[in-house]
Structure 1
Amino acid sequence: MRPIHVIFLCGYFRFIPEAIRVVNGPVSVTEGGSANLSCRLTETDEDLEQVTWQKRTRGIPENHNFLVILPPRDVRNINGLGNRARFIGNLTMKTGSIQILNVSLHDEGVYTCIFTVFPSGPHQAETRLTVHGRPVVTVTPAAPLVVGGESGVLATCIAANGRPAAGVSWRTDQLDGPTEIQNNATQNPNGTTTVRSYLLVTPTRSMNGREVQCVVNHTALEHEEIVPYRISLHYVTRGYYGGLIAAIFVLFFTLILLSFYTWKTVLQRRNPRRSRSHQEDVHMQEQQQEEQEEESQEQESQFNPLPQQSQLHPSPHHAGAGL
């Protein structure tokens, strides 16, 4: 009977450590908020010697201690979080809960709570901390569309730096014509996502002045975020086209004149001798013409001589004879 009693006692003492457990759960928090990480030891009356918190993140994937609590309430911050991590538990009640202030995206990861009790030793459990990044929402107008023109991008809604990616949509109830929405997402180096949503329309006169709305949904937002946008379109009249055509014609004619002048100048620079010989030929022709005119004047003077002096003035001899 005594050997059976010993076996029973050994089984009894093995049962107690197996019943000890650490109770916790996953935690989600928005960037900039506070995260409460709960940790509680149950099913034991053993003496608590210390509580240790470890973490591993994307930046540091190995487990490392960052907080140690010793009875009765000696809190020691090590390796990193400093005053952002504080103890909010009660060692008498065997709760080792902590609070992390001003949580950032770098704090996301797995946190391990370790209770060290005597005589059974350490007991631990892991808690996953998820950090949500609130997106920054803006609506950017595209280049103004022209009424009667082709379809194009009317506006772009941007939900930047969200974690996880935000859901973006458009409300276009006030528009009569067809619309199209194109979304794309860009992964940022810090683990956030930027979503761009393009609203495409075929511009009509009835759209001008109407309102569309960008709607963003995200886990970090208590309610969907709505950003309105007032449509502003451009109009083109016939007078505009007429003035445009006239301006194009004037520009074209001016370019032709400039091209002709440039071409002529280039030719003159390339053939200076030819230009000079041409000028000399013109000069010689002018001299020859002047010589011909002088010769013609001399010939005319020979054929039409001036009257002789005897005919114009009678001599005294003849005058006396008459007397």
Structure 2
Amino acid sequence: TFKCKMNKSKDILQVTWQKESNNSVENMATYSNNYGHNVLEKFIDRVNITELGLYASAIIIENVRLEDEGCYLCLFNTYPFGSITKKQCLTVYAISEPILKEHTTFVSENRVKCVNLSCSATGKPAPEISWNTVETIQKEPQSQLIKHPNGTETVTINAILSYTFLSKGDVFCRVKHPALQHEQHVSVKTQPSFDITIVISVVLVICLVSALLILYLNWKKKLP
């Protein structure tokens, strides 16, 4: 919501709202006693004049978008002094949901099974991304920045962790951004390794066979 006021010592004929962007100015809405209020067609779906008057005016912009960032001018058209301008500026923040991916699993040079992780998010301004664990990372995290035409930036940070630590510990990436009241955490969810799954399966089969054998022997003893 943008508001502006003017003292009643001047004779105001009309109030005009304008948007300033890319070194140009375009009219958004006007109000006068003779013609009432008028919102230009380009803004009619998202701009409403919420306070009608020559000495106090207010507009609201609904469903704010990235392109709404800029400065807004409130012009009091007076007689005989001309226009008196008041200026207010809007900064738009945006942040996407973080995306965490698990990439290639491989064995490092020292025969340690590792997982390549990446965490990314897109925002305006660029988000800050980091991992909650540093000492267990096999190689120093690598970050990448991609700038988009709409002013947003995608940040991706990679990390290589040992699978043993990943299976035991809680690993997550942290995202900081002005649009967030608190850090966002995205945890890594890993499945048991193939070797562990085989061991568990073998143990279950052995237990099942042993139980059936005990039942069979007990049943045989009870026979006359």
Q: TM-score, normalised by structure 1?
A: 0.54
Q: Percent identity?
A: 27
1:249 maps to none
1:224-263 aligned at under 5 Å gives the runs 224-231=183-190
CA distance in 2, matches of 1:222, 1:156: 24
2:2 maps to 37
* Aligned partner of 2:21 among 12, 35, 57: 57
Q: Give the C-alpha shift of residue 121 in structure 1.
A: 2.3
* Aligned partner of 1:114 among 53, 69, 75: 75
1:17-96 aligned at under 5 Å gives the runs 36-42=1-7, 44-58=8-22, 61-71=23-33, 74-91=36-53, 94-96=55-57
CA distance in 1, matches of 2:149, 2:12: 43
Residue pair 1:116, 1:122 contacting (<8 A) in 2 also: yes
* Aligned partner of 2:120 among 158, 170, 174: 158
Please state whether the residue corresponding to 1:116 is helix, strand or coil.
strand
Please state whether the residue corresponding to 2:63 is helix, strand or coil.
coil
Please state whether the residue corresponding to 1:184 is helix, strand or coil.
strand
Residue pair 1:169, 1:214 contacting (<8 A) in 2 also: yes
Please state whether the residue corresponding to 1:136 is helix, strand or coil.
coil
Q: Give the C-alpha shift of residue 135 in structure 1.
A: 2.2
Q: Give the C-alpha shift of residue 177 in structure 1.
A: 6.1
Q: Give the C-alpha shift of residue 195 in structure 1.
A: 0.6
Q: Which structure: greater helix fraction?
A: 1
- Which 4+ runs in 1 deviate beyond 6 A? none
Q: How far does the alpha carbon of each residue in 1:269-295 deviate from its partner, in whole angstroms, 9 at most, with x for none?
A: xxxxxxxxxxxxxxxxxxxxxxxxxxx
Q: Which structure: greater strand fraction?
A: 2
Residue pair 2:137, 2:160 contacting (<8 A) in 1 also: no
- Residues 214/207 of structure 1: CA separation in 2 closer, same or farther (3 Å cut): closer
CA distance in 1, matches of 2:69, 2:133: 38
Residue pair 1:186, 1:194 contacting (<8 A) in 2 also: yes
Q: Count the aligned residue pairs.
A: 194
Please state whether the residue corresponding to 1:223 is helix, strand or coil.
coil
Please state whether the residue corresponding to 1:211 is helix, strand or coil.
coil
CA distance in 2, matches of 1:233, 1:181: 24
Please state whether the residue corresponding to 1:144 is helix, strand or coil.
strand
Residue pair 2:37, 2:52 contacting (<8 A) in 1 also: no
CA distance in 1, matches of 2:93, 2:137: 38
* Aligned partner of 2:85 among 97, 116, 124: 124
Aligned-residue CA RMSD in angstroms? 2.7
1:4-23 aligned at under 5 Å gives the runs none
2:222 maps to none
Q: How far does the alpha carbon of each residue in 1:127-156 deviate from its partner, in whole angstroms, 9 at most, with x for none?
A: 211111122211011112337536866210
- Residues 204/46 of structure 1: CA separation in 2 closer, same or farther (3 Å cut): closer
> Are residue 142 (structure 1) and residue 106 (structure 2) matched?
no
> Are residue 101 (structure 1) and residue 66 (structure 2) matched?
no
Q: Give the C-alpha shift of residue 227 in structure 1.
A: 0.5
Q: Give the C-alpha shift of residue 163 in structure 1.
A: 0.7
RCO comparison, higher one (Cα < 8 Å, 6+) = 2
Letter in 2 for 1:171: N
Structure 2: stretches of 5+ with no match in the other structure:
196-224
CA distance in 1, matches of 2:111, 2:44: 61
Please state whether the residue corresponding to 2:95 is helix, strand or coil.
coil
* Aligned partner of 1:195 among 155, 158, 171: 155
